[in-house]
């Protein structure tokens, strides 16, 4: 008997904006590259995700390098950023491209979307070649909307309720914290999780020269218990969104996360599909645990990896005991992945 559950709610998916036109600007000050106009978030609010293809073009001086910083704003608040750099020697025309993205919860309303950038020199063009913005949702998701905070001790408590899924009880949710701050992490901006100060983010956009610091903290925490994210600022302000959900992936550096505790009969086959949310980057899925002396993927009874696209992972439990098996997933070294569905063929 096949039992399955769609965790990413495809009926909610809606594109709010897609613009594949290339826009460019250059200059050492922070300049508007393009204002995309407004998006409309429906009543009740929505989980909004976006991805942009950005690049820098430059005729580099001999043996020199050039760089550019990009930030994406939702209204007045910065939600994403990216630093790019490249080097080369004339007459070679040097360039580099990457993606910039994030996921935030937005309350219902109208929001202007704009992208800004600045370069290290006047011969560098900052380019955005495409931006897509969409709405999605997941089972078991709770969130605090993207909004401005000032001062110390801004507490954001969220609880993901415990429940059973077809493959077992929920175990952990990732608390995805997105921050655009006017002051740097550790130098005026502090982030605490359940009273414990976090020493570093999971991703730092490296765009402090723009006047805004952009960070992501994706930390796995237990379900069924209230967890509090506390944002403190000695000056200035920060725009922050917190999304707590078992089906959003964190980094491998956090040893991934365990969304469920497996509970079904022996000889059954487990199915998991991992997909892309705001970045189409590598994703991993493991059964077992990292050994005390680790040899990487060979530590596990089974593993799956994909560089881009969907990872379809399955495993039939023969010699491995279901009740002691640990299912771990991650977004490798770059955030942006998610768990789209899970299932089990019961024997």
- 159: pLDDT confidence band, cut at 50, 70 and 90? very high
Same domain, 175 and 273: no
Same domain, 209 and 259: no
Same domain, 16 and 121: yes
Same domain, 237 and 258: no
Last residue of a domain, one of 214, 245, 276: 245
Alpha carbon distance 154, 150 (integer Å)? 8
Alpha carbon distance 177, 335 (integer Å)? 12
The total number of structural domains that make up the chain: 3
Same domain, 113 and 181: no
Comparing CA positions, the residue from 295, 269, 296, 277 lying closest to residue 334 is 277
Q: Which residue has the higher pLDDT, 126 or 7?
A: 7
- The pLDDT assigned to 193 comes to 98
Same domain, 154 and 224: yes
- The pLDDT assigned to 299 comes to 83
120 pLDDT above the threshold of 90:
no
Percent helix, strand and coil across the chain, each to the nearest 5: 5, 60, 35
- The CATH number of residue 83's host domain is 2.60.120.760
pLDDT, tens only, 206-228: 999 899 999 999 999 999 999 99
Whole-prediction pTM value? 0.95
- The pLDDT assigned to 88 comes to 62
Residues 6+ apart with CB under 8 A from 10: none
Last residue of a domain, one of 91, 116, 136: 136
Last residue of a domain, one of 86, 116, 136: 136
Residues 6+ apart with CB under 8 A from 295: none
Same domain, 200 and 233: yes
Residue 9: exposure state from Cβ atoms within 10 A (0-12, 13-18, ≥19): middle
Comparing CA positions, the residue from 268, 270, 262 lying closest to residue 324 is 262
- Average pLDDT on 116-122 reads 84
Cβ 220 vs Cβ 257: under 8 Å: yes
Same domain, 197 and 278: no
Q: CB count, 10 Å around CB of 235? A: 10
Same domain, 235 and 339: no
Same domain, 146 and 98: no
Q: Which residue has the higher pLDDT, 254 or 90?
A: 254
Same domain, 159 and 206: yes
Range of the domain at 109: 10-136
pLDDT, tens only, 273-284: 999 999 999 999
- The CATH number of residue 160's host domain is 2.60.120
Per cent of the chain over pLDDT 90 is: 80
- Average pLDDT on 312-336 reads 93
Per DSSP, the three-state class of 116 is strand
Same domain, 206 and 302: no
- Average pLDDT on 98-120 reads 95
Torsion of CA 327, 171, 255, 265, to 10 degrees: -10
């Amino acid at each position: 008997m096949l039992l399955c559950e769609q965790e990413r709610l495809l009926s909610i998916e809606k594109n709010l904006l897609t613009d594949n036109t290339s826009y460019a600007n250059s200059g050492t000050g922070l300049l508007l590259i393009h204002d995309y106009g407004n998006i409309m978030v429906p009543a009740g609010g929505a989980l909004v995700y976006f991805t942009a293809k950005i690049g820098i073009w430059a005729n580099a001086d001999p043996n020199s390098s050039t760089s550019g910083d990009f930030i994406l704003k939702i209204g007045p608040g910065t939600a994403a950023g990216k630093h790019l750099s490249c080097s080369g020697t004339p007459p070679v025309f040097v360039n580099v491209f990457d993606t910039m993205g994030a996921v935030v919860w937005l309350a219902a309303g109208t929001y202007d979307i704009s992208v800004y950038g600045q370069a290290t020199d006047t011969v560098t063009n900052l380019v955005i070649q495409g931006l897509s913005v969409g709405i999605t949702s997941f089972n078991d998701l709770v969130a605090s909307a993207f909004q401005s905070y000032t001062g110390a001790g801004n507490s954001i408590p969220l609880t993901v309720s415990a429940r059973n899924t077809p493959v077992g009880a929920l175990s952990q949710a990732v608390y995805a914290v997105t921050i655009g701050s006017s002051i740097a992490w550790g130098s005026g901006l502090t982030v605490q999780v359940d009273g414990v100060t976090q020493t570093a983010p999971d991703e730092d956009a490296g765009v402090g020269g723009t006047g805004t610091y952009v960070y992501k903290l994706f930390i796995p925490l237990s379900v069924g218990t209230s967890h509090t994210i506390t944002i403190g600022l000695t000056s200035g302000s920060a725009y922050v969104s917190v999304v707590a959900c078992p089906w959003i992936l964190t980094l491998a550096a956090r040893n991934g996360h365990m969304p469920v505790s497996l509970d079904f009969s022996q000889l059954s086959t487990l199915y998991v599909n991992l997909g892309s949310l705001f970045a189409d980057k590598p994703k991993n899925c493991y059964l077992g645990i990292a050994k005390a002396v680790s040899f990487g993927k060979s530590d596990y009874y089974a593993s799956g990896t994909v560089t881009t696209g969907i990872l379809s992972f399955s495993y039939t439990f023969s010699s491995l005991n279901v009740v002691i098996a640990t299912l771990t997933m991650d977004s490798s070294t770059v955030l942006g992945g998610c768990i789209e569905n899970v299932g089990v063929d019961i024997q």
